[in-house]
A and B are shown apart, each in its own frame.
Chain A
Amino acid sequence: MTDFVHPALLFILGALPIPFLKGSIRKAYLLLIPALAILAVLTMQPGTYGAAQIIGQEILIAKVDKLSIVFATVFTIMALIGIVYALHLTRAGQHVAAFIYVGSALGVVFAGDYLTLFLFWEGMAFASACLVFAQPGEQAMRAGFRYLMVHITGGVVLLGGIILHGVATGSLLFGPIEREMGVASYLILAGFMLNAAVPPLNAWLTDAYPEATVTGAVFMSAFTTKTAVYVLARAFPGTELLVWLGTVMALYGVIYAVLENDCRRLLAYHIVSQVGYMVAGVGIGTEMAVNGAASHAFAHILYKSLLFMGAGAVIHVTGRRKLTELGGLYRTMPLTVALYMVGAFAISAFPFFSGFVTKSMVVAAAEQDHRALVVLALTMASSGTFLHTGLKLPYYMFFGTDQGLEAREPPRNMLVAMGMAAVLCITIGVFPQPLYALLPYPVHFEPYTGVHVTESLGVLMFTALGFLLFLKALDPENTISIDTDWFYRKGAKHFMWLAEKPLARYEKAVSDVSETAALPLLHGAARAGLWIDLTGVDGVVNSVARSILRGGGALRRLQTGVVTHYALAMIVGVIAATIVFAVAWR
């Protein structure tokens, strides 16, 4: 028994037999692999594994330390929950894609060098895109292609940074970037920030996630952005830029969420907002802040997947996704409502729910670091989080105007998966110590103080008062919101316009010129050439040929066929040669 089984390998190799298994055997197998992966993570020892040399570069397949174990633990737990939620699917495609996606995310989390990291990074992008493509319809296909294009571009930027970094430092080992921030560091940072959905590189997330399949979006909400938080925490802790981008991000997502009508897009904007806390925590960079970022990522994966599962259940049952078309489902889906609300309380950081013990650690770290503005902005974002995911979304989705939709509770496996996530959200909130023990640094933080509880409740419940008073202003509207994807969506349209209108016109003008002016000229030139050829060149050639014929005829007369004539000619020749030789020798 070795002390390290790479969980990425379990998932990626484990994905191969899925299409060949049927029925309940497949279901058992789908549950077995994540369970084995959880076991592998729980039993692994810190250290380095799989060191090798490839084309003169040091490769380190797996570097295990406390930071990577935190993320790997929640990733494998999430994989199990996500698979339970997707267990009713009869076709294997999405299961295979999800396995490769999870495996690649785990590959990044353990990568000890940039090449391994990059390989799994790209694997994640392609596998997750398949979860968007699995959704039928042109809208999803288009969104999937945009998602893939953005991630390929980000991947190229990252690769450029990695190569420059490798050339400058002579090593591709992945760790904190300690040198001065140069072009290489900024390119790597940009590649990482794209996956973390830091504005203005955020639009791919809110564009693609709501278009993915019901089960696919649950996986997507968990892995890509949190992998990015992990690599940022590994390579760029204490980068001042990240504090401000993270703070802006937390508010950015909340502001857009007010405008949103699509239930899963609203939740996607809250991923942006919540990842903002983590990015800010990484930027602050103190032990407490990095602990906060890591623990918040842990809690976030569980409650955000729960929220996506709840919204997904509604879409699965009703086939509708717009808040303007939903409402009154609480009568037929009470369990879904209750489970969704657990996620909503957790993301809003209510006491005894997971967000309370993790989000507050980031805010407390900002306070300890004397950053008043960051504290105020992050607290405001908390208010917005409860306003949308805890009040607006459930109100318009489950309560509000009854649209008379026929609904029922979703399949049992979906409810079980939501139940698993809900239990974890509450357990972490009530007993934070096991999670704190898992964090990279020792935790000196007590979330349950009187002031912290009353202040949190004050912010949250008075947000609810604001919601109640201004409910009419929050009514969802049948619109979409312009985000930074405008640049490439409209930009692509302008490019196509350029290609179709001015470029096509230019092309037509060029062909017109060639038809009216150049072609007759060429025709004339060709005719003149033909005439010169026929009369001049051919004449010369013919006359030369005729002279050669005549010469040949004359020479032929010398050929008599009589041997004595030839012998005579040879003797004459020899004599002539002798005479010439003698004269010339003199």
Chain B
Amino acid sequence: MIKRVVDFFGDGRYVNQRHRLFYLVLVLIVVADFLVPRGHAEYLWDRLPGWSAVYGFGSCVLLIFVSKFLGHQGGLMRREDYYD
């Protein structure tokens, strides 16, 4: 069973099904975020349904590009024999 689940995520044959499932999950999450009851809201964004999706996507993109910028332009990434 475990092998079949792992294969589903690895094997190229299932790529379309994987993508369809993934986008379905994304839609469901956003819809659910609009439907859940929001009681106490500490900050402005706590009242915005869908905020977490936007923030998660933004964070991910920001982290990738800021890090790679620091690595390439900021000189953090060096050849493997840098210390030898």
On A, residues with C-beta under 8 Å from B are 254-256, 258-259, 330-331, 334-335, 337-338, 367-368, 370, 372, 375-376, 379-380, 383-384, 387, 398-399, 450-451, 453-468, 470, 473-474, 477-482, 489-490
Contacts and interface: CB of A to CB of B under 8 A. Distances in A.
Nearest to A372: B43
Interface of B: 2-3, 5-7, 9-10, 22, 25-26, 29-30, 32-33, 36-39, 42-43, 46, 50-57, 59-68, 70-71, 75-80, 82-83
A479 B59 contact: no
Contacts of A490: 83
22 contacts: A254-B63, A254-B67, A255-B70, A256-B76, A259-B76, A334-B2, A334-B7, A338-B5, A380-B59, A383-B56, A384-B63, A387-B60, A451-B39, A454-B36, A457-B29, A462-B26, A462-B53, A462-B54, A464-B22, A482-B75, A482-B78, A490-B83
Contact of B71 (A259, A375, A398, A450): A259
A334 B6 contact: yes
Contact of A459 (B9, B46, B52, B75): B52
- 4 A-B pairs with the lowest CB-CB distances in the bound complex, closest first: A466-B60, A458-B52, A459-B56, A258-B67
Given A258-B71, A334-B3, A482-B76, A451 B38 contact: yes
Contacts of B33: 454-455, 458
Nearest to A367: B42
A454 B43 CA distance: 17
Contacts of B37: 450-451
Contacts of B9: 330, 399
Contacts of A380: 55, 59, 62-63
A294 B64 CA distance: 30
A461 B29 contact: yes
Contact of B64 (A387, A459, A478): A387
Contacts of B3: 334
B56 A461 contact: yes
Contact of B63 (A258, A334, A464, A477): A258
A473 B71 CA distance: 12
B68 A258 contact: yes
Given A450-B36, A457-B29, A480-B77, 8 more contacts: A254-B63, A259-B71, A259-B76, A387-B63, A459-B59, A478-B80, A479-B71, A481-B71
A398 B25 CA distance: 23
Contact of A255 (B26, B30, B63, B75): B63
B71 A454 contact: no
Q: Which of B38, B55, B59, B62 has the most CB of A within 10 A?
A: B59
A338 B52 contact: no
Nearest to A450: B36
Contact of B67 (A255, A454, A479): A255
Contacts of B76: 256, 259, 481-482
A489 B83 contact: yes
Nearest to B62: A380
Contacts of A387: 60, 63-64
A276 to B, nearest CB: 14
B56 A338 contact: no
